[in-house]
Amino acid sequence: MRKCYEPQEIPKSILSEILLLIMIRFFRKSTTKKDEAKETKDRPKTVAVAAPPVPISPLPASPKTPRKKSKFLEDFFSLSLFGGFSQNERINFFHNLAAMLSSGISIVDALGILKDQVKDGKVKKAIQAMADDTKNGRKISEAMAKFPKYFADHLVETVNTGDVSGRLTETLDRIADDLEKDDELKKKVQGALAYPIVLMCVMVVVAGAFAFYILPTIGDMFSEINAPLPLPTKIILSISGFLQSYPFVVLGVFLGIVIFFFLMFKIKQGRYVMHYLILRLPIFGELIKQYNLIFFFRSLGSLFSSGVSLVYAVDVAKKTVTNDVYRRVLDGIYPLLLHGTPLTTAIEPFPFFFSKQTQKILWVGEKTGKVEEALSHITAYYERSVDYKTRMLTVLIEPVLMVIIGIVVGALALSIFMPLYGLIRTI
Q: Rounded distance, CA 148 to CA 48, Å?
A: 31
Question: What is the separation of C-alpha 227 from the centre of its chain, rounded to a whole number of angstroms?
Answer: 57
Q: How much of the chain, in percent, has pLDDT values that exceed 90?
A: 24
Tell whether pTM > 0.75. no
Q: Is 205 exposed, middle or buried (0-12, 13-18, 19+ CB in 10 A)?
A: exposed
The pLDDT assigned to 326 comes to 93
- What 8-state DSSP symbol labels residue 227? -
Find the mean pLDDT for residues 92-101. Answer: 90
Alpha carbon distance 44, 49 (integer Å): 14
> Of 63-67, 233-237, 351-355, where does mean pLDDT reach its minimum?
63-67
Q: Which of 70 and 399 is assigned the larger pLDDT? A: 399
What is d(CA 34, CA 3) in angstroms, rounded to the nearest whole number? 10
Mean pLDDT confidence for 248-256: 89
Per-range mean pLDDT, top range of 184-193, 271-280, 415-424: 271-280
Instruction: Tell me the CATH number for domain 85-182.
Output: 1.20.81.30
Residue 319 confidence (pLDDT) above 50: yes
Range from 3-12, 230-239, 407-416 carrying the lowest mean pLDDT: 3-12
Work out the burial of residue 198: count CB atoms within 10 Å of its CB; fewer than 13 is exposed, 13-18 middle, 19 or more buried: exposed
How many Å apart are CA 197 and CA 204, to the nearest integer?
11
Q: Are 65 and 311 in contact (CB under 8 A)?
A: no
Question: Hey, is 378 helix, strand or coil?
Answer: helix
Under a CB-based contact definition with an 8 Å cutoff, are residues 98 and 71 in contact?
Answer: no
The per-residue pLDDT of the chain, averaged, comes to 77
CATH topology agreement for domains 85-182 and 186-427 = yes
Q: Domain segments of the chain: what residues?
A: 85-182, 186-427
The domain 186-427 having CATH identifier 3.30.420.10: the answer here is: no
Residues of the chain with pLDDT > 70: what percent? 79
Residues comprising the chain, all counted: 427
* Interval 5-63: pLDDT, tens: 344 444 444 444 444 444 444 444 444 444 444 444 444 443 333 334 444 445 544 44
